[in-house]
Amino acid sequence: MAGVLYVIHIIVALLLILVILLQRGKGTELGAAFGGASQTVFGGASGRESFLVRVTVVLGVIFMLLSLGLSWRASHLQKKLKVPEGQTAPAPAVPGAPSAPAGAQPSPSGEKAGAEK
């Protein structure tokens, strides 16, 4: 479920970037880079601008709601994984470290118990 939400979030973000770049700016617009076809697809200047503004607002709201939802979910999962007070968390295993035999307990100095010097 979370993977689907992340994919939707990324798609909405990319669409939001594209719609913002298609809007008329103070300089030249990105729509001209695509052969000016965006002007014929979205109609005249006023119709296209109002349509792109509406799409930008809708995508922005969806993006913000997904961002808030995903951050709430992440913090909620983090609270579930915390160790309650009074208990100790198990030490994480170090990958690649050799495991000690069952009977050999390391001493505080790092040597095996019962080892001769």
Average pLDDT over residues 67-95: 77
Residue 78 banded pLDDT, cuts 50, 70, 90: confident
Q: Does 99 fall in a domain?
A: no
Does residue 37 contact residue 48 with C-beta atoms inside 8 Å? no
Q: Does 76 fall in a domain?
A: yes
Provide the domain limits for residue 67: 2-81
Q: Does 50 fall in a domain?
A: yes
What lies within 8 Å, CB to CB, of 22 at 6+ separation is: 29, 30, 31, 38, 52
Q: Is the pLDDT of residue 100 over 70?
A: no
Number of separate domains in the chain: 1
Cα 26 to chain center, whole Å? 32
Q: Does 86 fall in a domain?
A: no
pLDDT at 71: 92
Q: Does 95 fall in a domain?
A: no
Ramachandran assignment for 32, one of left (phi > 0), alpha (psi -120 to 50 degrees), beta (any other): alpha
Q: Does 38 fall in a domain?
A: yes
Average pLDDT over residues 79-83: 72
Residue range 26-63, pLDDT digits in tens: 555 555 666 655 555 555 556 667 888 899 999 999 99
**How much is the pTM?**
0.52
